[in-house]
Amino acid sequence: MVSISEFFEINHEVILFLYGLVFFVLGFSIVLQTRQASRLELARSLRWLAAFGITHGFHEWGDLFIPLQAKYLDQSILRLLSILHLVLLAISFVCLFEFGMVIVRPRGGGSRFRWASPALFIAWLVVSFGALFPFMSDEHLWRHTANALARYFICFPGGLLAAYGLRVHTLERIQPLNVLKIVRTFRVAGFALGVYSLLAGLIPPPVAFFPGNLLNTATFTQAVGAPPWVFRSLIAAVIAVTLISALEVFEVETHRCIEELEQQQILIADHERLARELHDGAIQKVYTAGLLVESVSKLAEPGTEMDRRLKRAVVVLNDSIVDLRRNLAELHVPAQTPSEPLAALLQQLADDPNYNSMVNISLEVEFEENNALSPIRSSHVTAIVNEALSNAVRHAHAQHVSIRAAEENGRLRIAIHDNGAGISPDARLGYGLRNMRDRARLLNGTIEFARDKGAVVTLVIPWVD
């Protein structure tokens, strides 16, 4: 019967190869999926984690392939490879440390600790090669000592800093995206990085100084029954799987950017339509009215009350044209999105004198008055309701409109019912209804148009996108 320790000893090469492969796959996957154009700071910091994965993978493969070449290479070459192998370990830990530094560094700001990882690496080089190498006759012991120093002073703090930075970044930058699955995955990855910092940073090869003389790979294997690199392999696999899965956040960000562009296109189209209506409709009509009043004023007796009132009317109409042209120019300025509770926004629409002076509007709200959507979602909802009221007044010639907004199973349902002429089949091809459907789609909801003693517009959307 093979014991656990014998099993790991027999399969030492296989596990070492898989250990290095896990880190290499982690780094290579991050390189392939990272978006340099991303607005998330994670995209810039992940390149350091990718560098850590690739360099550490090569280091672990060095533990496997350098001994295999011992029979075929000169001792001087083997010695050089061993030194490069040791330096590669320190470089990989520096990349991990730098990942933690970059991800916690304030946006756009410097930090007095920004050179901490290069400084630690230089200090390690000076101590290992300048202070220890010339005075230690046992090269094997020197490599163990340099290895331990790299783990204690670079890997351990770097791993903890990376775990902390990933957690903070997740809470501040990823959680607001409202993708719970990705947030949980990043948290698991951060926890795994913390565990890795303990397993890789505090368990060096056997050395003659504290704490490496008490806790090292030999004592750990004797106490647990399996070498520490077995557990490092498992933790590395967890880090790789969770981070590769969490990189879906860049797809989510891309989707949100496309959605924002679509929203901007809808708003631009809305502004263009209003601009056309103002220019070709309202302004021309007011201008024509001004000409008519001005021609009538010429027929009035100069100095009479009629003459004075007509001239005042011409001035008012000219001022109206100026105001309309100013409004026309303001349509090119991005509109401010509302941030008030949804009930208050709906009440403002119901109280709008442009509508309730021509039609009786009743509003029924069946959810908490303080409930609010995000500003951009509120903007879409109020635009849909506003378009429905406008259609009821301008096209359906309704006398009464009822608005009922209610929360149903975590979703918002708004029904606008008027007693007008209803929606004709040809109206479905119109700009207004198409715009309403586009907005409902951006809200991840549905909108229906029906006839029931008038027109019925029903919008159903999730409260949280």
Separation of alpha carbons 409 and 161, rounded Å: 42
Percent of the chain exceeding pLDDT 70 equals 85
* Residue range 158-179, pLDDT digits in tens: 999 999 999 988 888 788 777 8
Amino acid letter at 3? Answer: S
Residue that wins the pLDDT comparison between 459 and 73: 459
Least confident of 2-11, 256-265, 304-313: 256-265
* pLDDT category of residue 114 using cuts at 50, 70 and 90: confident
Confidence (pLDDT) at 429: 52
Q: What residues contact residue 407 under an 8 Å CB cut-off, 6+ apart?
A: 366, 367, 371, 413, 463
- 405-455: pLDDT as tens digits: 999 887 899 999 998 877 765 555 566 777 788 888 878 888 988 887 788
What pLDDT, on the 0 to 100 scale, is given for residue 180?
Answer: 85
Q: How far is CA 45 from the centre of its chain?
A: 15
Query: How far is the CA of 130 from the CAs of 60, 126, 151, 209, in angstroms?
Result: 25, 5, 18, 19
Per-residue pLDDT tens over the stretch 349-403: 888 876 776 788 999 999 888 888 888 788 889 889 988 887 887 777 788 999 9
The pLDDT of residue 61 is: 92
Most confident of 8-22, 326-340, 399-413: 399-413
**Is the per-residue pLDDT at 233 higher than 70?**
yes
Paired residues of 354 in beta bridges: none
CA 323 to chain centre: 41
Is the pLDDT at 238 greater than 50? The verdict is yes
| Maximal CA-CA distance, the chain | 123
pLDDT for the residue numbered 107: 44
45-96, pLDDT tens digit by residue?
888 999 999 999 999 999 888 888 888 888 889 889 999 999 999 999 999 9
pLDDT reported for residue 321: 73
Average pLDDT over residues 203-208: 94
When mean pLDDT is compared across 102-111, 220-229, 293-302, 336-345, the lowest value belongs to 102-111
Over 60: is that where the pLDDT of 335 sits? no
Average the pLDDT over 96-112 and give the result.
71
Residue range 145-161: mean pLDDT, rounded: 95
What is the 8-class DSSP label of residue 37? Answer: T
Distances (CA, A) of 452 to 416, 425, 455: 11, 14, 6
3-state helix, strand, coil in the chain (%, to 5): 70, 10, 25
Per-residue pLDDT at 333:
47
Confidence check: pLDDT of 41 > 90: no
Residue 336 has pLDDT above 50, yes or no: no
pLDDT at 425: 55
User: Which tops the pLDDT comparison, 323 or 62?
Assistant: 62
pLDDT reported for residue 445: 86
Residue 337 DSSP one-character state: P
Give residue 334's pLDDT.
47
Instruction: Provide mean pLDDT across the span 226-237.
Output: 88
Residues 139-143 have a mean pLDDT of 91
Task: Out of 77-86, 159-168, 209-218, 290-299, pick the least confident.
Answer: 290-299
What is the structure's pLDDT at 205?
A: 94
Q: What is the pLDDT of residue 426?
A: 54
Q: Which residues lie closer than 8 Å to 322 by C-beta, 6 or more apart?
A: none
What is the average pLDDT across 17-21?
Answer: 88
